[in-house]
């Protein structure tokens, strides 16, 4: 018995028992039958249910038990007279009427099914239930066209474009007609906004091939604002934030706009692309215009951060325009706006202006925001190669992030021991997991180098930090060449190879040569195994799976206890799976 059919039966039973507590005892009388049914003894269970119904013709739990068991036993004709007798005794029972419709559908007596359904509808002229049960009984037996007709008869009879829209939407999904399902879900949310999350989760499962068509149905001219918002949320789910915002923006202006914008911004928060950040930023900015200052100030600051992540400095400035000098805004809003404005200035390269505003005594920026801005400004100074000013702007800050930043600054000056001590003091954890991971990897490299200082290595790492990857590769090769083979050289060459592999193109050959040098050198450190894994990954990315396989197998056999072996096995499986069998 299919899931929807079973659920209909259980629902009927629950409704009847809850409506008439006296029936609980009658339900308990069929307990042995239910236990037999659970153990798969359907014929014995049916016998118990039949005995109960003979003594109590309107016992719904027993009749539902017969529906389940006789269906399995292919004996449904036996149930029809029992249900008809029960319904004659209790003509107002919706549960018995529903059961009768399901029995007629199971017997494929469609004319009788329609007659009974219309007769029920005549006694309840304002109710959707007769048409819902009629259509669902047919759908449970995969009679899609007949079920659709039943639902549409109900829509025409009762009036209202959204009548039975949920049932029609689910029916169209079951038949694979996703565009029709989208139209019905659009009608459903237009009628009841509470259906929105359900509609979005249902339509999100549509195959990728029909995404655009489904979105067009929901965002076409003339559809309701609620339907267009549903389309916008789906586009977000499918990774199309720009189109999603265009759809959402066209719906703004009604009383539901604040909640719709907040939900849109929350959904956009899972996207990491520039388009995703921008969509979330503009949604937050619009939402901030509609809510009290206490919420709006933080929302605008968050919007600015999102827009900066998207690289849209113009939009970020627009959000802040006039806010920092608005005398009507509360102090908290001024502080948030000032911090956001400094973010814009730093991102725009106006470091002197940002530093002046940050150090001004009049600023109302909170301590946490001030620390974050000092760090951002220091990192921007490093990117310009201004190490002294990068250190000065940190001031007396002793936070983990500031200590780690000082470690990078002294490292770029070539002071390896001091950098290692700062990194150790900062520890392996921080709010920024990526930064902590990068710092831990650098510590592992520095621990292999016996020298206390290396101006060449510091300069090479600074070149890398400033974004000049090609120059950094050559500088790292030169710096590594001055270190002992088992005293840091291999780790530095590995880093140079990783940078070259990341660049791709003409640098792929350089990466291969560097990885080859590290692998051939061998030794006790982790660098040879890491280099061989990186070499294999590079080959796989270039489609050279056959060439990658020997490297991965060599790594697994040569370094069986290496931490890189599990990943090597995964890459090996992918590489072998990509090679057709001869």
How many domains does the structure of the chain reveal? 2
pLDDT at 430: 60
Calpha distance 136→129 (Å, rounded)? 10
Q: Tell which of 159, 194, 216 closes a domain.
A: 159
Calpha distance 277→289 (Å, rounded)? 19
Angle between helices 241-249 and 257-268 in degrees, nearest 10:
180
Q: Which CA distances in Å does 146 have to 131, 185, 210, 475?
A: 12, 20, 25, 75
Calpha distance 158→312 (Å, rounded)? 51
Residue 455 lies in domain: 448-577
User: Is residue 485 pLDDT above 60, yes or no?
Assistant: yes
Among residues 232, 206, 239, 208, the alpha carbon closest in space to that of 218 is found at: 232
User: Is residue 412 pLDDT above 90, yes or no?
Assistant: yes
DSSP state of 452: S
Read off the pLDDT of each residue in 157-182 and give the average, rounded to a whole number: 94
User: Is residue 29 pLDDT above 80, yes or no?
Assistant: no
**Are the C-beta atoms of 278 and 293 separated by less than 8 Å?**
no
Distance spanning both ends of the chain, measured CA to CA:
46
Read off the pLDDT of each residue in 303-329 and give the average, rounded to a whole number: 76
Q: Which of the four pLDDT bands, split at 50, 70 and 90, describes residue 20?
A: very low
Residue 242 is assigned to a structural domain of this protein: no
Q: Tell which of 159, 186, 210 closes a domain.
A: 159
User: Is residue 17 pLDDT above 90, yes or no?
Assistant: no
**Are the C-beta atoms of 394 and 385 separated by less than 8 Å?**
no
Residue 497 is assigned to a structural domain of this protein: yes
Task: Work out whether the CA dihedral 284, 290, 294, 300 comes out positive or negative.
Answer: positive
Alpha helix ranges (H) inside 397-489? 400-412, 416-426, 433-446, 455-465, 469-481
Claim: this prediction has a pTM higher than 0.85: no
Mean residue pLDDT across the chain: 88
Calpha distance 510→471 (Å, rounded)? 13
Calpha distance 282→176 (Å, rounded)? 35
Q: Which CA distances in Å does 240 have to 235, 245, 246?
A: 5, 9, 10
Q: 197-206, 401-410, 538-547, 573-582: which has the minimum mean pLDDT?
A: 573-582
**Are the C-beta atoms of 74 and 107 separated by less than 8 Å?**
no
Q: Tell which of 98, 124, 159 closes a domain.
A: 159
Residue 101 is assigned to a structural domain of this protein: yes
Alpha helix ranges (H) inside 141-251? 144-158, 165-174, 178-191, 196-203, 211-219, 225-237, 241-249
Burial of 372-403, coded b for 16+ CB within 10 Å and e otherwise, reads bbbbbbbbbbbeeeebebbbebbeebebbbbb
DSSP state of 512: H
DSSP state of 541: H
Q: 3-state DSSP call for residue 311?
A: coil
Token reading at 481: 């060449």
CATH of the domain at 125: 1.25.40.10
Calpha distance 418→413 (Å, rounded)? 10
Residue 253 is assigned to a structural domain of this protein: no
Calpha distance 104→80 (Å, rounded)? 8
Read off the pLDDT of each residue in 65-75 and give the average, rounded to a whole number: 94
Q: What are phi and psi of 453, to 5 degrees?
A: -145, 155
User: Is residue 16 pLDDT above 70, yes or no?
Assistant: no
Write out pLDDT tens, residues 134-145.
999 999 999 999
Q: Which of the four pLDDT bands, split at 50, 70 and 90, describes residue 160?
A: confident
Calpha distance 27→12 (Å, rounded)? 13
Rounded to the nearest 5 percent, the helix, strand and coil shares of the chain are 75, 0, 25
Residue 532 is assigned to a structural domain of this protein: yes
Q: What is the DSSP code string of 77-102?
A: GGHHHHHHHHHHH-TT-HHHHHHHHH
Residue 440 is assigned to a structural domain of this protein: no
User: Is residue 172 pLDDT above 80, yes or no?
Assistant: yes
Read off the pLDDT of each residue in 504-529 and give the average, rounded to a whole number: 91
In this structure, how many other beta carbons lie within 10 angstroms of the beta carbon of residue 46? 23
Residue 59 is assigned to a structural domain of this protein: yes
How many Å is the maximal CA-CA distance in the chain?
99
Among residues 218, 220, 213, the alpha carbon closest in space to that of 187 is found at: 218
Token reading at 93: 């029972």
Q: Please, which residues bridge with residue 453 across strands?
A: 415
Residue 184 is assigned to a structural domain of this protein: no
Q: Which CA distances in Å does 295 have to 38, 258, 292, 366, 372?
A: 55, 12, 6, 17, 21
């Amino acid at each position: 018995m299919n899931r929807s059919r079973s659920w209909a039966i259980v629902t009927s039973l629950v409704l009847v028992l809850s409506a008439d507590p006296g029936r609980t005892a009658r339900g308990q009388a069929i307990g042995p039958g239910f236990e037999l049914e659970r153990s798969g003894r359907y014929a014995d269970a049916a016998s118990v249910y039949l005995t109960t119904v003979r003594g109590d013709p309107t016992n719904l739990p027993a009749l539902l038990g017969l529906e389940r068991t006789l269906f399995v036993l292919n004996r449904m004709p036996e149930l029809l007279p029992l249900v008809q007798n029960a319904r004659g005794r209790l003509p107002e029972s919706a549960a018995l009427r529903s059961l009768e419709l399901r029995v007629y559908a199971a017997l494929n007596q469609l004319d009788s099914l329609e007659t009974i359904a219309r007769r029920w509808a005549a006694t309840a002229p304002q109710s959707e239930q007769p048409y819902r049960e009629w259509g669902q009984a047919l759908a449970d037996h995969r009679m899609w066209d007949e079920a659709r007709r039943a639902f549409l008869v109900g829509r025409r009879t009762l009036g209202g474009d959204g009548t039975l829209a949920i049932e029609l939407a689910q029916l169209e999904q079951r038949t694979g007609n996703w565009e029709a399902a989208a139209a019905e879900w659009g009608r459903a949310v237009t009628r009841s906004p509470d259906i929105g999350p359900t509609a979005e989760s249902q339509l999100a499962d549509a195959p990728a091939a029909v995404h655009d068509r489904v979105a067009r149905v929901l965002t076409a001219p003339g559809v309701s604002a609620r339907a267009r918002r549903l389309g916008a949320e789906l586009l977000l789910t499918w990774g199309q934030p720009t189109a999603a915002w265009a759809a959402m923006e066209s719906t703004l202006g009604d009383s539901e706009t604040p909640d719709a914008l907040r939900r849109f911004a929350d959904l956009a928060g899972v996207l990491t692309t520039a388009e995703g950040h921008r969509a979330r930023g503009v949604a937050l900015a619009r939402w901030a215009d509609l809510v009290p200052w206490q919420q709006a100030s933080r929302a605008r600051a968050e919007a600015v951060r999102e827009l900066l992540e998207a690289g849209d400095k113009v939009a970020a400035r627009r959000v802040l325009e006039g806010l920092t000098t608005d005398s009507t805004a509360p102090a908290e809003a001024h502080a948030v706006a000032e911090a956001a404005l400094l973010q814009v200035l730093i991102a725009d390269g106006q470091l002197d202006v940002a530093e002046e505003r940050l150090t001004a005594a009049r600023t109302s920026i909170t301590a946490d925001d001030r620390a974050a801005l000092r760090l951002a400004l220091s990192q921007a100074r490093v990117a310009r190669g201004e190490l002294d000013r990068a250190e000065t702007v940190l001031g007396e800050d002793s936070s983990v992030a500031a200590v780690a930043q000082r470690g990078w600054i002294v490292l770029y000056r070539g002071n390896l021991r001091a950098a290692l001590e700062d990194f150790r003091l900062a520890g392996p954890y921080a709010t920024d997991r990526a930064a902590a991971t990068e710092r831990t990897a650098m510590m592992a490299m520095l621990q292999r180098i016996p020298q206390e200082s290396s101006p060449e290595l510091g300069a090479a790492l600074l070149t890398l930090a400033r974004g000049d990857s090609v120059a950094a590769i050559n500088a790292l090769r030169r710096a590594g060449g001055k270190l002992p083979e088992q005293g840091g050289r291999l780790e530095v060459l590995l880093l140079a190879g990783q940078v070259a592999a990341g660049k791709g193109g003409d640098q792929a050959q350089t990466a291969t040569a560097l990885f080859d040098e590290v692998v051939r050198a061998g030794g006790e450190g982790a660098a040879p195994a890491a280099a061989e894994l990186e070499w294999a990954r590079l080959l796989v990315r270039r489609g050279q799976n056959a060439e990658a396989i020997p490297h991965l197998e060599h790594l697994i056999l040569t370094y069986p206890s290496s931490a890189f072996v599990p990943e090597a096995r995964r890459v090996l499986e992918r590489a072998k799976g990509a090679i057709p069998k001869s």
